Amino acid sequence: MLLAAEHLEKNYGMKRLIQDASLYLDTGDKVGIIGVNGTGKSTLLRVLARAEEPDSGTVHVFPDVQVSYLPQNPDMDPDATVLEQVFRDLPDTYRAVAEYEARTMLTRLGVPDSGQKIGTLSGGQRKRVALATALIHPADLLILDEPTNHLDMDMAAWLEDYLIRFSGGILLITHDRYFLDRVTNRIVELENGRLYSYVGGYADYLVHKAERLEAEQAGERKRQATLRREYQWIMRGARARGTKSRDRIERYEALRDQEAPAARERVQISALSGRLGRKTIELAHVSKSYGDKTVIRDFSYTLTRDDRIGVVGVNGAGKTTLLRLIAGRIQPDAGTVETGQTVRLGVFSQEGRELDPDARVLDYIHDISNRIETPEGTFSASQMLEKFLFSGDLQHQFIGKLSGGEKRRLYLLSVLMQAPNVLLLDEPTNDLDVETLTILEDYLASFPGIVIAVSHDRYFLDKVAHTIFEVCPGGAVRQYTGNFSDYLEKRVPADKPAQAKAGKADKPQKPGNRPQKLKFSFNEQREFDHIDEELEALAQKLAACEADIAAAGNDYVKLQELLARKEELEREQEHKMERWVYLNELAEKIAAQNGG
């Protein structure tokens, strides 16, 4: 056993976050913690990591068990270099052994310059440095608070693989449901101060939780039926005052005083939008650069009224820039963006609107709109807050006292209260709990307007998107029809010209009954004739690169260059192998068609 936490209690003022909670972890346990924002998930992790004391109860980490903890808001030295921060709490002897691994990990996480000062990094880069710090630390137990935030899809896939192979115990908070399904073997939900444990990943959790809730409701229905029967017996006025009658009355009172299952709060969002006219937003040959870096190049697109677009790409590629161009918040260097008169934008930005910590929750929403029309009727600001799980007491709370997730939920409501008909969502899934995400997905499915969402949440994009825009390094924007899973199947490798793989996949065949005769094009024939030689040459280059890596010793600058070169060669080799398979299969079909 790695950790035993028993009978934990934790309160903040009058709010009870954790109530008589116990949790045990063995080697090999990979536990995901979920729950509505503000329920105390991060507090629970701090208590389990012994970064904060419980009000009562015990947390026991067994002898010789090393714990590595990634907090939600890591403490970092702005004057330290990236590498100094990673090894800050570790002895120099360990740095000598693990420095190469740390540099490789940082490169994987998009922070290749390990000599850069922490103070010069973006918020996302800082979180990734903190993640590398937690992972490089020798550990039997990893405790990770939102490790997937600020990771692009390739980074998240790498982290998944790393944690799947990790042989110790893992305790983590994440709202990435695919990540939960692939990494965890147990889900623990924090609800109304209590912990509920479910064996399996996220899909298993959904099944088991539904079964638990049904069992609870069945038990409650039975209790209420018994109470009605006993109440009628008492009201008839039992003549006897013997022991049996007194016992029956006491049993009735005990049953009456028994605590019923807590009513489950649920975010409810009705579609709030204004009418959208025929003209929406049209981008014509739009380009945008910062210095000598082009982030959007010659992009044209006209939004249709039912567009559901997911925007993907590596960190720094220009996804947020594309959203800001569409919103008119920045101007293109070339091209035009024309917006129709009826367009009402709702922009949920990555950094979020500045929320005044000294304002009260109700006043903040009331200042945006006191009343809102929905398909269910007219609701006041207070009623809309209730729908978003802000109870009467919480509505009069100062914004500065809300949790990070509660602030994001409040910010989301503030965007929807403006009744937009075009929603631009930049990383909407960050810091929103799983339940709120599920309801947001349902809301977007019925939203009578345009939705464009930048997200690294694969589950979210599978549920919401009908089209994927991939913003590539260099500024090209590639378009794919379908959700994220469809995009993965059709995705064009980064080193391949962006001709119509996306377009070809969706282009209907010309009508006609006669099947087209298979044959190589001129370029395919030339490629087929030389592809074996090219694959052999690539294999030799890779072997030479690996030999150079082995000989580089402690020259870390050269090592980084060689590792980048190796990754580039491996990508090229993978692409060539795909082409080899395709061309050889085509050659076999042509031979069969021509009678051998």
Q: What would the 3-class secondary structure string for 408-474 be?
A: HHHHHHHHHCCCCCEEEEECCCCCCCHHHHHHHHHHHHHCCCEEEEECCCHHHHHHHCCEEEEECCC
DSSP codes of every residue in 263-283 = PPP------------S--EEE
Answer with the residue of higher pLDDT: 352 or 479.
479
For 156-276, list the strands marked E by DSSP. Answer: 169-173, 186-191, 194-199
Q: Which of 505 and 265 is assigned the larger pLDDT?
A: 265
Q: Which pLDDT band, with edges at 50, 70 and 90, does 210 fall under?
A: confident
State the pLDDT confidence band at 589, using cuts at 50, 70 and 90. confident
The pLDDT > 90 percentage for the chain reads 27
| Mean local confidence (pLDDT), 19-34 | 92
pTM: 0.65
Q: How far apart are CA 434 and CA 266, in angstroms?
A: 11
What pLDDT was estimated at residue 254? 67
What's the burial of 240, exposed, middle or buried (CB within 10 Å: 0-12/13-18/19+)? exposed
pLDDT, residue 504, reads 41
Question: Model confidence at 192, in pLDDT bands (50, 70, 90)?
Answer: confident
Helix 123-136 to helix 153-165 angle (10° resolution) is: 20
Give the H or E element holding residue 181: helix 177-183
Tens of pLDDT, residue by residue over 426-446, are 888 877 778 778 878 877 887
CA atoms in the 13 A half-sphere facing the CB of 565: 16
* Rounded CA separation 46/406 (Å): 18
Residue-level pLDDT at 494 = 53
pLDDT of 572 > 60? The answer is yes
Judge whether residue 265 has pLDDT over 90: no
- Please report which confidence band the pLDDT of residue 4 belongs to, taking 50, 70 and 90 as the band edges: very high
Mean pLDDT over 234-239 rounds to 59
Query: Residue type at 287?
Result: S
pLDDT at position 526 is 79
Question: What CA–CA distance (Å, rounded) separates 320 from 335?
Answer: 18
| Matching residue, tokens 């009578």 | 448
Contact 185, 29 (CB under 8 A): yes
Q: CB within 8 A of 353, min separation 6: which ones?
A: 411, 414
* Residue 17 φ then ψ, to 5°: -90, -45
The packing angle between helices 404-416 and 361-368, to 10°, is 20
Q: Is the pLDDT of residue 80 over 60?
A: yes
Q: Tell me: pLDDT of 67 over 60.
A: yes
Distance of alpha carbon 149 from alpha carbon 139, whole angstroms: 22
260: pLDDT strictly greater than 90: no
Residue 418 has pLDDT above 60, yes or no: yes
Q: Which two tokens stand for residue 2?
A: 């790695």
Residue 9 per-residue DSSP state:
E
Please tell me which residue, 483 or 516, carries the higher pLDDT value: 483
Which pLDDT value is given to residue 453? 92
Is the Cβ–Cβ distance between 128 and 109 less than 8 Å? yes
**pLDDT tens-digit series, residues 517-553:** 567 777 778 788 888 788 778 878 888 888 887 787 7
Q: What is the DSSP string of 292-351?
A: TEEEEEEEEEE--TT-EEEEE-STTSSHHHHHHHHHTSS--SEEEEEE-TT--EEEE-SS
pLDDT at 7: 93
Mean pLDDT of 337-351: 86
Q: How far apart are CA 482 and CA 485, in angstroms?
A: 8
What percent of the chain is modeled with pLDDT above 70? 84
Q: What is the phi/psi pair of residue 548, to 5°?
A: -65, -40
User: How sure is the predictor about 507, in pLDDT bands with cuts at 50, 70 and 90?
Assistant: very low
Read off the pLDDT of residues 223-233 as tens digits, 9 standing for 90 and up. 667 767 666 66
pLDDT of residue 47: 94
Q: Tell me: pLDDT of 331 over 50.
A: yes
- The overall average pLDDT reported for the chain is 82
pLDDT per residue over 461-502, tens digit each?
Answer: 998 999 999 998 888 999 998 888 888 888 866 545 544 344
493: CB partners within 8 A, 6+ apart:
571, 574, 575, 578
Statement: residue 508 has pLDDT above 50: no
The amino acid sitting at 389 is L
Q: What is the pLDDT of residues 361-380, one digit of tens each?
A: 998 888 888 877 766 677 78
Arithmetic mean of pLDDT, 51-78: 91
Is pLDDT at 287 greater than 90 in this prediction? Answer: yes
Mean pLDDT for the stretch of residues 299-313: 90
The residue whose two tokens read 């590398």 is 132
**Which residues lie closer than 8 Å to 473 by C-beta, 6 or more apart?**
314, 317, 494
Ramachandran angles phi, psi of 510, nearest 5°: -70, 145
Name the range with the highest mean pLDDT among 169-183, 395-409, 431-445, 503-517.
169-183
Query: How many other CB atoms are found less than 10 A from the CB of residue 145?
Result: 24
Q: How far is residue 402 from each of residues 293, 321, 398, 408, 431, measured CA to CA in Å?
A: 39, 30, 7, 10, 13
State pLDDT tens for residues 96-128. Answer: 888 888 899 998 898 888 889 999 888 888 999
Question: Taking Cα atoms as reference points, which of 153, 195, 198, 199 lies closest to residue 178?
Answer: 153
Structure tokens at 406: 């509660």
Residue 247 has pLDDT above 90, yes or no: no
pLDDT (mean) for 327-356: 85
